[in-house]
Amino acid sequence: MKKNPQDFVAMKGSKPIPMLTAYTCPIARSIENANIPVILVGDTVGMVEMGFDSTRDVTIEHMEYHIGAVRRGAENTHIIGDLPYGTDIDPETALTNAQRLIHAGADSVKMEGPNIQVIQHLVKHNIPVVGHTGLLPQTAKNFKQVGQSSEEAARVMKDAQAIWNAGAFMVVLEHIPYSLANKITSVLPIPTIGIGAGPDCDGQVLVINDALGLGDYWPPFSKQYAYISKTIQEVANEFSKEVESMKFPSNIISFTGTNRS
Ligand code: KIV
């Protein structure tokens, strides 16, 4: 059954929360079949699927398209839709864009940074919000770890608390020292979801392309569970050879189509 924000808050401290990103229907279906309770349709789609150099090139229309595809693949999974760069600049603009993502199939929206008035405005209009602090790819000048100095650590802690106080039900902690993630996790009553933030968060999120080994590069804190890019190249090579040698198609192949279980 699809989980709601209260279910995730109740999981804090009792059951670690696994989260994966997805951008397409078949991948979302496989993730739902693996019983992952929450999918993030992140604006990372711009870099890992669309070939942009930055997430800043992603538009609200791109997000609607991908959220729709993921919803069709994962009807019973909580979907978080990312508000792309510039779509949450003020409370009214953010509300219009968040409503578009919800209409496209998201159950909640995620936004980067301690944009308190915007979070409060969305929550007031019954849109569940996931916060995001630490490294903020939409505005970061580089991808270095955030929160190493005591001043910066205090600022990240303050931002996480402000995001919670504004009404967010979950917060992503990206690329911060493990000790800082541990402190934030023990102070906040809402779940923290780490990416490059160590083992003490309430849950972990990975970009699906990184976990699959699908693409050209992976951040150092990710884990590559497979190497799908290599498999695709092997399949393409084999197919090419079989076409050239006229081994494919053969008479024994059925084209009736099957559903794999
Ligand atoms: O856009 C995204 O996929 C994200 C994750 C890296 C947390 O924000």
- Per residue in 201-221, pLDDT (tens digit) is 999 999 999 999 999 878 888
Give the domain CATH number at 212: 3.20.20.60
pLDDT digits (tens, 9 = 90+) for 99-117: 999 999 999 999 999 999 9
Is residue 160 a part of any domain in this protein? yes
Is residue 232 a part of any domain in this protein? no
CA of 43 to the centre of ligand 1 (A): 6
Range(s) of the domain holding residue 164: 5-227
Is residue 257 a part of any domain in this protein? no
Nearest CA to ligand 1 atom 5: 42
pLDDT digits (tens, 9 = 90+) for 168-206: 999 999 999 999 999 999 999 999 999 999 999 999 999
Cα torsion through 34, 38, 39, 40, rounded to 10: -150
Residue 258 pLDDT > 80:
no
Is residue 234 a part of any domain in this protein? no
Cis bond leading into 249, ω under 30°? Answer: yes
Atom of ligand 1 nearest to the CA of 110: 8
User: Which positions are annotated as active-site residues?
Assistant: 174
- Verify whether ligand 1 is closer than 6 Å to residue 44 (CB atom): yes
Number of folded domains that form the chain: 1
pTM of the model: 0.96
- Verify whether ligand 1 is closer than 6 Å to residue 138 (CB atom): no
pLDDT at 212: 97
User: Phi-psi region for residue 237, left (φ > 0), alpha (ψ -120 to 50) or beta?
Assistant: alpha
Is residue 101 a part of any domain in this protein? yes
Is residue 241 a part of any domain in this protein? no
Atom of ligand 1 nearest to the CA of 43: 1
CA of 21 to the centre of ligand 1 (A): 7
Is residue 69 a part of any domain in this protein? yes
| Phi and psi, residue 104, nearest 5° | -75, -15
Is residue 237 a part of any domain in this protein? no
| Phi and psi, residue 208, nearest 5° | -60, -40
- At 253, the pLDDT band (50, 70, 90 cuts) reads low
Nearest CA to ligand 1 atom 3: 42
